[in-house]
Copies of this chain bind each other. A is one copy, B any other.
């Protein structure tokens, strides 16, 4: 789709000198010169100045900061326009055309498995009845997908992975722009999920696809049942996430992090490698030092937290 066409569809009042082909949307930092981005939060002004995006939705006041070669798409509501534009780039729910699946040797695809177009499945895989493998999915060799798992379109699962029953890989991230009237406009989640090799995922766990780019689960992670991993998270190698944990959007966990049962993180933060979060711990700020153990909500280092609990217990007397 061309930039001019997008401007027209969104009813923006913008004059551009040269039209250009647009392939999608992205953040200011990651956008290429064929992508549109947005500035909705002053925090990211620096990123605007450095962006390579073809065009950026922004308020008029920021127009002077737009770098040469980038078009400023002036609007009072940049985030809403991002939402409207996201719909223009949403792929079809189901591909009608495309190649039949390629399945490697010794792979066992049971009956009642749906396999979409352009799917590649390696050798020695087992896909059990009721699994739904959507279009353009890649599954590495030696991987087992249990019954009633759904893998949404464009996602990749590595080699020697196990995905237990009922999990959803690649469901839409929870992203909405809001109108003045308090209605919510869907930001189409046009990214995907990539799960690297040797990952095990428990039953009824949900891992959301990225809004742009990729939600990434790195090699050797072990994820338990009923875990929620939101859009655009990056989970480091060999990280362990136990049952009922929630990792909010755009959060990065380093390698060999351990998240105890029912613990959670806020969004847009990072947790240093080899960190342990005790059960029920709630992480609201980034953790920058490697290898420490944290507990509680609000979060404290584990030993002071234990002392604190002792002091609180004394209040009882």
Q: Which residues of A line the B interface, CB within 8 A? A: 93-94, 108, 110-112, 114, 126, 128-130, 132, 144, 146-148, 150, 152, 162, 164-168, 171-172, 174, 176, 182-184, 186, 200, 202-206, 208, 220, 222, 224-226, 228, 230, 238, 240, 242-244, 246, 248, 255-256, 261-262, 264, 266, 279-280, 282, 297-298, 300, 304, 307-309, 311-313, 315-316
Contacts and interface: CB of A to CB of B under 8 A. Distances in A.
Contacts of A112: 112, 114, 130
A94 to B, nearest CB: 7
Contacts of A164: 168, 171-172
Between A164, A203, A230, A313, the greatest number of chain B beta carbons within 10 A of the residue's beta carbon is seen for A203
A242 B172 contact: no
Stoichiometry, copies per complex? 3
Given A225-B171, A311-B315, A204 B202 contact: no
B243 A182 contact: no
Given A132-B129, A152-B165, A204-B166, A184 B240 contact: yes
A174 B224 contact: yes
A307 B314 CA distance: 12
Contacts of A126: 93-94
Between A111, A171, A311, the greatest number of chain B beta carbons within 10 A of the residue's beta carbon is seen for A171
Interchain residue pairs A-B with the least CB separation, the first 9:
A168-B203, A150-B165, A132-B147, A114-B129, A171-B203, A206-B225, A165-B168, A228-B243, A164-B171
Contacts of A256: 182
Contacts of A128: 93-94, 114, 132
Given A130-B148, A172-B162, A316 B300 contact: yes
Contact of A264 (B111, B171, B224, B280): B280
Contacts of A111: 114
Given A186-B200, A202-B206, A204-B205, 9 more contacts: A94-B110, A94-B128, A130-B130, A164-B171, A167-B204, A262-B262, A262-B264, A264-B280, A307-B316
A250 to B, nearest CB: 14
A94 B125 CA distance: 12
A172 B130 CA distance: 18
Given A94-B126, A172-B162, A226-B206, A238 B316 contact: no
13 contacts: A129-B132, A130-B148, A132-B148, A150-B166, A166-B206, A186-B200, A206-B225, A224-B228, A228-B243, A248-B261, A262-B262, A280-B282, A298-B313
